[in-house]
Amino acid sequence: MGKGRLEAFSDGVIAIIITIMVLELKVPHEPSLEALAPLWPVFLSYILSFVYIGIYWNNHHHMLHAVRHVSGGVLWANSHLLFWLSLTPFTTEWMGENHFARVPVAIYGVGLSMNAIAYTILVRVLVSSHGHDSEFAARIGSDLKGKLSLVLYISAVALSFVSPWVSLAIYFAVALIWIIPDRRFERGAA
How distant, in Å, are the alpha carbons of 62, 122, 179, 183 from that of 188? 10, 19, 18, 8
DSSP structural state of residue 31: -
What single string gives the DSSP state of each residue in 78-134? Answer: HHHHHHHHHTHHHHHHHHHHTTS-HHHHHHHHHHHHHHHHHHHHHHHHHHHHH-TTS
What 3-state DSSP class applies to 46? helix
Residue span 1-40 as binding mask against its own copies, x where in contact by CB under 8 A, dash where not: xx--xxxxx-xxxxxxxxxx-xx-x-xxx-xxx--x----
Q: For its own copies, which stretch binds (CB under 8 A), given 131-139, 140-148, 151-159, 173-181?
A: 173-181
Q: For its own copies, which stretch binds (CB under 8 A), given 96-104, 125-133, 155-163, 165-173?
A: 96-104
Site for its own copies in 55-74 (CB under 8 A): 57-58, 61-62, 64-65, 71-72
Of 158, 54, 53, 146, nearest to 105 (Cα)?
Answer: 158
Least Å distance between CB 28 and its own copies? Answer: 7
Say how far apart CA 138 and CA 124 lie, in whole Å: 12
Among positions 38, 40, 47, 161, the unique one binding its own copies when judged by CB under 8 A? 47
Cβ proximity to its own copies, 93 vs 115, nearer residue: 93
Q: How far does CA 108 lie from the centroid of its chain?
A: 11
Asked if residue 152 binds its own copies (CB under 8 A), the reply is: no
Where on the chain is the footprint of its own copies (CB under 8 A)? 1-2, 5-9, 11-20, 22-23, 25, 27-29, 31-33, 36, 47, 50, 54, 57-58, 61-62, 64-65, 71-72, 75-76, 79, 82-83, 86-87, 89-90, 93-94, 97-98, 101-104, 107, 179-181, 186, 189
